[in-house]
Structure 1
Amino acid sequence: MGGKPAGVGRLLSPRGHRRAYPFVLAAAPITAGRPWGALLLLWPAVHPERPSRRERRNISSTCDRLARLITEHTRTHRYVPPAAPRVLPDATLRPGASPQGLAAADFAARLPEGGLALDLQGRLTYVSPRAAELLGRGEQELVGTLPWQSLPWLDDPLYEDRYRAAVISRQPVAFAAVRPPDTHLHFRLYPDASGISVLVTPQEDSRNGEPPPARESRPRPPRVGRLYQLMHLATALTEAATVRDVVDLVADQIVPAFDAQGLVLYLVEAERLRVAGHRGYRPGALARLDGAPLNSTFTPAAQATTMGVPFFLGSPEDIEQLYPGMARLTGQQAWAVLPLTTHHERVGCCVVAFERPHPFSADERAVLTSLAGLIAQALERARLYDAQYDLAHGLQEALLPRGLAELPGLETAACYLPATRGMDIGGDFYDLIRLSPTSAAAVIGDVQGHNVAAAALMGQIRTAIRAHASVTANPADILARTNRLLLELDSDLIASCMCVQLDLDRHQALLASAGHLPPLLARPGERAQVLEVHPGPLLGVTSGADYPADAVEFPAGTLLALYTDGLVEAPGDDLDQALMAHARQLDRDPRPCGAQLGGLVDDLLRTVPPTGPRTDDIAVLLLHSVG
């Protein structure tokens, strides 16, 4: 196992700990030479605190099996953490209805109390006729739905919380609710491992004939469900990075929460409203509204954004009176038009649309207005993030070569993968410089750091190497001149570099290294090997540095792989073993030709997949002699 699971000695119990519901938890590590994760098992509080011998064996064997499966998978596939947890499909816990089951349904139908059955996902699987009568909906309308969706008056986190308490604790739970306008109902939940049975009775019956308490005359506060939605969206918006993320999150949260059918998010760009995203509108319905000027009186979005005041139009008559023809154009009959502003700056507008008339209550208006402020702040952050990303991505593309020089008899392929999450920028670089019709200088390097400063210095080094290559073809001289220039720039950063002169006429390669990792070489009929190159000091460390040059044969059919350390170095991994693994990958792949060289780059990237997020940039340059 590589570690003792928490469940082997004693299960974690809620006793002595503050928990919302009583339960027992077992936690066990999934390890096989390296930590992969953990297995968590949840039991109701009635489970013994000490695991049985059989449970301990099952937990240990399951963790071992999971660790082996994960380890075996990562040997052949590059591990990429999923963007969201995988949710397994619902399992059938009990067989279908039998004649005895029909008899049980008849039995429930004769009872004076209403009966419901829910699965562990909260869906209604059975509704007795008496329960349907008490709930005010038909049986077929309710079966297969979530109660808090099919019965709007149960759409309150207070009632959902009771359901969760029953599922987790496996203890009976009761609560009271009012079915509009004034039917008081009492719900009793009885859970087990397969679901929940619910008894529904009129509250006066459950109180032995005592009338329900009188309703308070003071104003009712805003619904708890709306406030819960406000808090939930505020939490989720903190994780939205891009404008696209914000649009999707707002649409996923607001549209179902307010029983709306559509949503449009506009952004202010050059005194115009541009559609950033929408949900629930017909294709082309927003074409005439996209790009409307802010001073336009044709659209409520432009007016609300200019004035900074929300509009609530609850019927087609309200819309037609202020904006003739707009309801027909969009196919919507009610709107909540919410200006998005931050610190008196206009960000955009959010329009929540309804296909039927929708009178907006006071609490809906208050919550929607509050949500507009949260959305505006999230959009402002997302726009800044997108602008930084575009700037960084454009800088990286400008600094790296748009394409590699073409020489007869030489095939090439290259790739660059940044380590900085979300920025796509770093200090690794590569280039291929044509020296003559039959010779070229190939270079690959790594500037210290993964930020804009590293990328800027990388661009200066690459430009310097190109300039020096036009004066001398000797890779040792190129590195020495570049080193002097870097010292003159007085930069705090250093860089490694490998420079190779290819002479296709003589079938020879001359290599010089400034503290860079050795390349991989695969000749025809020979096993791939790590090429020994005598390294000189890193660029930018010392003046007067010498860089020895090593000559190797480069006959037709030879493949030379240049790379940066991000390809082979990772915390906890052995460098020599990683280098040999990539050399073996060159042997496994048939000698590439044409477009297949790009596939070999992908194979090298998958050879030693990282066990976690990538921490360093990767640059790869493949050179294949074919003539």
Structure 2
Amino acid sequence: MARVLARTCVDAVQAVGGFAGGIYLRSGVEGLLLLAVVSGLPGRLFRPWWRMQVNRPYPVAEAFRSGQSVHLPDAEVAMRRFPQLMAGLPFPFGSFYEPVMAGPERFGVLFVLRPATPGVPVDAADRELLRSAADGLAGELAALTGAGEAVSWTGDPVGVPPPDTAQGAREAVERLALALLSVDRGGRIRYVNRAAAALLGMDAPELRGRMLWQAVPWLGQPAYEDHFRGAFMSGEPVRFPARLGRQPDAGWVAVELYPGPDGVTVTIGTAEPPGCAPETGAPSRAGPGSPADRASALYRPVALAIALTEAVTARQVSAVVTQELLPAFGGRQLAIYLLNERHLHLAWETGFPQGFLDRFDGVGLDVRLPGVETLTSGRPMFFESMEHLAKAYPGIPLDAHVGARAFLPLIASGRPVGSCILGFDAPRGFSPEERTVLTALAGLIAQALERAQRYDTEAALARGLQAALLPHRLPVRGNVETVGRYLPGTQGMDVGGDWYDVVETGDGLLALVIGDVQGHGVAAAATMGQLRSAVRAFTLGGSAPEQVVAGTNRLLIGLDPGQFASCCYVLLDPVSGRARAVRAGHPQPLLRHADGRAEVLDLPGGVVLGIDPAATYPVTDLRLAPGSVLALYTDGLVEQAGEDIDLGVERLRAALAAARPAPLTETADRLIGGAGDSADRPDDIALLLASRTGGRGAAQT
């Protein structure tokens, strides 16, 4: 499959005059695309974009979601439509994205990058070429699927090496005193002159064929990655100062990048320290770093800020910081402590030795630790090595790393929120720009965490409300056994409006009820509680099934919560097994017969509750024979993104048919088990099973 992807990628790039391209494929995780192949760009420079959630505001995600082409001829159009893309890649380039689809099946997205054409839209010929390339790839992938091969991606992207276009006759370049390297569009060194080999302390044959950032590791610092991205994507020369090594006292050199269709020429010359006047070595008024340095410092907060707006919970905020902040500065470790009752509690960590940070969890604000003092003083603290940290705080426990540390106060609108610790594998300095940017980012993180804490508080309230409203115990009746299950969603507020209930009537009947209020959060849970109470009241008042549902519909419209709900109501006689069922916009129930056959019941139904006050709801007569099982469920159990719900219903029907008839609790656990294992479940799930036992039954929740 990788060969098919690589061939399509290279052909598409060449067909429309591009300089780079790649293909994203679906992964084994629902809603996640992975970059499978990339050509014309060094993969390591674009690691933050290797993974793409289909719900993110990026052109790749939109092309996959919508099934429509996305054409961005220049930076202005891209900034207008996809500001988050341009916040992370603020360079002038054009880009085109084609969904790879075969009928309803979506495999991924083909993209091509080429020089920007401001004011000139993509012409029809190029659109057709890209569409044809994507359709051809979709056909080949569909054939692989038909042959039983899984079409998905699980690993890192494969780099498609560009052809070696190195020329002979390099004598003139060899005579230069200026260090010069030629790098292909994959980032691999193709040529090194004698001056560069001498500067880097390696022979030319030893350097050729290696990735630039492996051969010259001090050029691989995250502070310089933006410059290389700019050269590879914009096609314009880039100049910036760099330290000749990773040590804080290393000398400075001037690096210049000259990109072309086949690669980038890199020159390295002498330079004064940035921010110093060339004649005197005194600090200059212009400030340190090149204009590109300052532009980089400006867009990093924008990129992180946009990503933080999509983070809802404290855990999601911490994950965004891990994904966006650490790669930008080359960090390997992150810890976030949150303030609660004058103590700092560890909320998130990554990269530290297991258990190392436990000793700092819960420390008071009177303890002399950098993570405490950065918050109490409001000043960020930077240590270029662990040796410097140990000198400033004698006796402080240290892990095995020897790198730098940054301690940032998390303060939102003057209110202390916590502390953030960044760790680096190697000693390093922090330029004034980096200190300013990190301090600004800490403020953004603090605001996001404060917002998330309020959200988490509301979520806890919603969870408590829903737990109180769902039945803790179902009634025990002879001849019928009932089992209920509920799983909250794992995205956003974590609670919604799904509910189930079993109501005993005064004449010995049982009402089996399941429903789903649209939306999530406190409002949905509150509406669910009102509807559950209404159904119980109408049932206990002796209303017929169609009257129960119609009355609940009118009540919901009268409450006017701006929400609607689906519902399925079955009134069962436990002795005879006769039942009367009503459905309001809800998924069809399932019935497993005593012989193991399972079917989807075809109940005619009315519209969802909360729409039409005059709606009527037809009644269907059923009979549950001894040994049969009736399954009522909400759509969260059978829905998957990008898939027809009927496929999910069929999976559930097959699972019910394959389940053992008893115990019923085991059947319920089996039906809901697969969904419970999902870490990325967007909707709630409710399940209610009722089995005719023919004798004394037990009800469990």
Per the normalisation by structure 2, the TM-score is 0.63
Contact 2:546 2:619 in 1 (8 A): yes
Q: Which moved more, 1:125-134 or 1:334-343?
A: 125-134
Aligned to 2:181: 116
CA 1:470–1:314: 2 relative to 1, 3 Å: same
8 A Cα contact 1:23 1:45, kept in partner:
yes
Cα deviation, residue 118, structure 1: 3.1
Q: 1:120 to 1:433 in 2, by over 3 A?
A: farther
1:302 corresponds to which residue?
372
The question of whether the paired residues in 2 share the 8 Å contact of 1:413 and 1:601 is answered with: no
Alpha-carbon distance in 2 for matches of 1:329, 1:568: 47
Equivalent residues in 2 for 1:61-80 (5 A)? Answer: 62-63=134-135, 66=138
Matching residue within 157, 161, 173 for 1:88: 157
Match for residue 507 of structure 1 among 577, 599, 602: 577
Does the Cα contact within 8 Å between 1:187 and 1:199 map onto a contact in 2?
yes
Q: Are the aligned partners of 1:350 and 1:372 in contact in 2 as well (CA < 8 Å)?
A: yes
Which of the numbers 218, 228, 237 marks the counterpart of 2:296? 228
Q: SS of 1:245's equivalent? A: helix
Aligned partner of 2:358 in structure 1 is 287
Cα gap change, 1:177 to 1:51, in 2 (>3 Å): farther
CA–CA distance in structure 2, aligned partners of residues 347 and 404 of structure 1: 44
Higher-Rg structure is 1
Instruction: Specify the alignment match of 1:275 in structure 2.
Output: 346
Alpha-carbon distance change, 174 to 32 in structure 1, aligned in 2, over 3 angstroms: closer
Deviation at 1:38, TM superposition (A): 6.1
Q: Tell me how far 1:456 sits from its aligned partner.
A: 0.9
- Let me know the Cα RMSD of the aligned residues: 5.9
What does residue 391 of structure 1 align with?
461
Equivalent residue number for residue 164 of structure 1: 232
Secondary structure at 1:422 match in 2: coil
Question: Partners of 2:98 and 2:373 in 1: how far apart?
Answer: 58
Change (3 A) 1:582 1:378: closer
Give the distance between the partners of 1:558 and 1:51, measured in 2 at CA: 61
Work out whether residues 32 and 71 of structure 1, in 8 Å CA contact, stay in contact via their aligned partners in 2: no
Q: Aligned-pair distance for 1:34?
A: 6.5
What amino acid sits opposite 1:592 in the alignment? A
Q: Report the Cα distance in structure 2 between the residues aligned to 1:329 and 1:203, rounded to whole angstroms.
A: 37
- Asked if the contact 2:588–2:600 (Cα under 8 Å) also holds between the matched residues in 1, the reply is no
1:150 to 207, 218, 238: 218
Instruction: Check 1:189–1:284 CA distance in 2 against 1; reply closer, same or farther (3 A cut).
Output: same
Work out which of the residue numbers 574, 577, 592 in structure 1 matches 2:659: 592
Asked whether the 8 Å contact 2:496–2:520 carries over to 1, the reply is: yes
Match of 1:244 in 2: 315
**Residue 495 (structure 2) pairs with residue 430 (structure 1):** no
Q: Partner letter of residue 344 of structure 1?
A: G
Letter in 2 for 1:66: A
CA 1:404–1:130: 2 relative to 1, 3 Å: farther
Pair 1:443 & 2:513 matched: yes
Query: How many residues end up aligned between the 2 structures?
Result: 582
1:547-604 C-alpha deviation (Å, 9 max, x unpaired)? 876542211343434345778999999xxx9669947973696353253555556899
CA contact (8 A) 2:317 2:452 kept: yes
- Residue 555 of structure 1 corresponds to which residue in structure 2? 625
Q: Is the 8 A contact 2:222 2:327 kept in 1?
A: no
Q: 1:493-533: per-residue Cα shift (whole Å, max 9, x none)?
A: 66554322333432322334567665444546778353446
* C-alpha distance in 2 between matches for 1:282 and 1:448: 44
Q: Give the drift of 1:347.
A: 0.7
1:364-403 matches, within 5 Å, as 364-402=434-472
- Residues 378, 458 of structure 1: CA spacing in aligned structure 2 closer, same or farther, 3 A cutoff? closer
> Structure 2: which amino acid aligns with 1:289?
F
What does the per-residue CA deviation read over 1:91-138, in whole Å, with 9 as the maximum and x for residues that have no partner?
A: 35569xxxxx9x989999976675535343435476566423234678
* Residue 4 of structure 2: aligned partner: none
Report the counterpart of residue 66 of structure 2 in structure 1: none
Q: Quick one: which amino acid aligns to residue 120 of structure 1?
A: R
1:278–1:199 CA distance, 2 compared to 1 (3 A): closer
Are the equivalent residues in 2 in contact too, given 1:585–1:603 (CA < 8 A)? no
**1:623–1:116 CA distance, 2 compared to 1 (3 A):** farther
Q: Residue 272 of structure 1: CA displacement?
A: 0.6
Could you tell me which residue of structure 1 aligns to residue 81 of structure 2? Answer: none
How far apart are 1:317 and its partner, in Å? 7.5
Shift of 1:267: 0.9
Contact 2:505 / 2:542 at 8 angstroms: preserved in 1?
Answer: no
User: Is residue 348 from structure 1 mapped to residue 418 from structure 2 by the alignment?
Assistant: yes
Equivalent residue runs for 1:602-613 within 5 Å: none
Question: Residue 225 of structure 1: CA displacement?
Answer: 3.8
> 1-side partners of 2:306 and 2:105: how far apart?
29
Shift of 1:462: 1.8
**Post-superposition shift, 1:390?**
3.0
Kindly, what percent of the aligned residue pairs are identical?
Answer: 32
TM norm structure 1 = 0.69
User: In the alignment, is the contact (CA less than 8 A) between 2:556 and 2:609 conserved in 1?
Assistant: no
In 2, are the aligned partners of 1:226 and 1:367 still within 8 Å (CA)? no
Say whether the 8 Å CA contact 1:536–1:548 is kept in structure 2: no
Contact 2:462–2:525 (8 Å) recurs in 1: no
Q: Sort the Cα spacing of 1:564 and 1:313 in 2 relative to 1 into closer, same or farther, 3 A.
A: closer
Tell me which of 173, 198, 211 is aligned to 2:265: 198
Contact 1:563 1:621 in 2 (8 A): yes
Partner Cα distance (2:72, 2:647) in 1:
49
SS state at 2:345 partner:
strand
- Residue 395 (structure 2) aligns with: 325
- For residues 173-192 of structure 1, the aligned pairs below 5 Å read 187=256, 189=258, 191-192=260-261
Residue matched to 1:133 = 198
Change (3 A) 1:201 1:343: closer
Q: Distance in 2 between matches of 1:536 and 1:257?
A: 51
- 3-state SS, counterpart of residue 357 of structure 2: coil
Residue 621 of structure 1 is matched in structure 2 by: 688
Q: 1:127 to 1:530 in 2, by over 3 A?
A: same
Q: How far 1:362 sits from its partner (Å)?
A: 4.5
Answering whether residue 526 of structure 2 is matched by residue 456 of structure 1, we say: yes
Tell me which residue corresponds to 1:608. none
Q: Which residue of 2 aligns with 1:98?
A: none
For 1:244 and 1:537, the matched residues in 2 are separated by 35
- Cα distance in 2 for partners of 1:549, 1:269 equals 56
Q: 2:657 is aligned with what amino acid?
A: P
SS in 2 for 1:427: strand
**Aligned-residue offset at 1:377:** 1.9
Q: 1:229 to 1:243 in 2, by over 3 A?
A: farther
In structure 1, list runs of 5 or more residues that go unmatched: 96-100, 205-212, 606-612
Q: Partner letter of residue 118 of structure 1?
A: V
Structure 2 residue runs of 5 or longer lacking an equivalent are: 1-11, 19-70, 79-89, 245-249, 272-277, 695-701
Q: In the aligned structure 2, how far is the partner of 1:308 from the partner of 1:275?
A: 19
Q: Could you tell me whether the CA contact under 8 Å between 2:511 and 2:570 is conserved in 1?
A: yes
CA deviations on 1:143-200 (whole Å, 9 max, x unpaired) are 43527853379943674255314xx65x9x575757657776675646455xx36364
CA distance in 1, matches of 2:412, 2:519: 35
Deviates more, 1:134-143 or 1:229-238: 134-143
Distance in 2 between residues matched to 1:527 and 1:357, nearest whole Å = 65
Cα 1:452/1:272, change in 2 over 3 Å? same
For 1:604 and 1:256, the matched residues in 2 are separated by 33
Counterparts of 2:296 and 2:426 in 1: how far apart (Å)?
25
Aligned twin of 1:207: none
Distance 1:214 1:599 in 2: 77
